[in-house]
Amino acid sequence: MRARSVAVTVAGVLLLAACGTLPPPRTVGQRSVPDFTARAGQVAAQWNRTRLAAVWRTSLTLLDPGQLVQIPAGASFSSARQRALFWSGHFVLRSPLPARSPASLVRWADGTSMRVPTLNARSAFRALAPCGASPGCTAPGELTITSMRPAEASVPTSRGWALVPAWQFRAAQLSWPFIEIAVARRQQFALPARQQSPFDGTELGAVSADGRSLTLLAPVPCSREPGVHLYPQVYETASAVVVAVSVVTRWHSPLSTTCLAFRVAPVRVSLARPLGGRPVLDVHSGRPLFLSLEPSPVRA
């Protein structure tokens, strides 16, 4: 609802500018929070009662469930049939199962980590190849797994990019290896990747290496007009960080067509202690703010 109110305010101003109507000097901006501390305290308390909060503390929250199986950038298949066999799990195992499993540690770019249960080799192959374990699901030309070994993979999570336990496979019919995430499925919680827009309101742009400061991104109208002010606020508890950014633009001269421009402006806030595994919550919607998926700051 907050993002809509911002968009409506901005759209109304842009419409006046586009039509040549010159409004008097005014102040416009995002919905203010008269008592930020009270509202932020309510948001933090509500978050602690949600199912997602419990999952956030104990599980690996993935932003892109499509990355459970990864192929190298630029990798290609020899045919559409081969592609279909791959993504439908038509594999047959022609390799001994490794006795050693991947290390059970998830590592984030800020240095924090979490122990997770992992899939052993047999369970990993069954997850990769449901058709390989079912006689009624076989098909001519199945892909033949010739080796598998413990590895790591970089995946986008609710706390930014992380290195997670994985299995690396090689198939006789493919010239490149591919990866399957080895974190036990009961320890995963997948969220759909969120499509961001400049009109969505405050977003989380970055977390400092020491976790003590956040870069918030706020939508700012009329990027070439003077008098744009950002007022960030932050509220911390042991389990969450709640933020808000009020964007106030003061026009002391008639609007021009340059007001049609729109940008996202960064503003930094400091924390009393490192962010760690705490979520960053938007004070208006109560939703967690996720770091951008690009680029990946950790490499497998």
Which pTM does this prediction carry?
Answer: 0.65
pLDDT by 10-residue block (mean), the chain, 300 residues: 32 28 34 73 91 79 81 93 92 90 87 89 91 64 91 86 94 96 84 49 84 87 62 92 81 48 81 90 87 58
Coil/strand/helix, residue 291: coil
- Span(s) in the chain for CATH 2.40.128: 64-190
Spatial separation of the C-alpha atoms in residues 43 and 285, rounded to whole Å: 8
Protein fold of 64-190:
Lipocalin (2.40.128)
Give the contacts of 160 (CB within 8 A, at least 6 positions apart): 108, 109, 110, 207, 291, 297
DSSP string, 97-113: PPSPPPP-EEEETTS-E
Residue 159 is predicted with a pLDDT of 77
Residue 246 is predicted with a pLDDT of 80
Spatial separation of the C-alpha atoms in residues 86 and 79, rounded to whole Å: 11
Residue 196 is predicted with a pLDDT of 47
Residue 130 is predicted with a pLDDT of 83
Residue 298 is predicted with a pLDDT of 59
Residue 59 is predicted with a pLDDT of 77
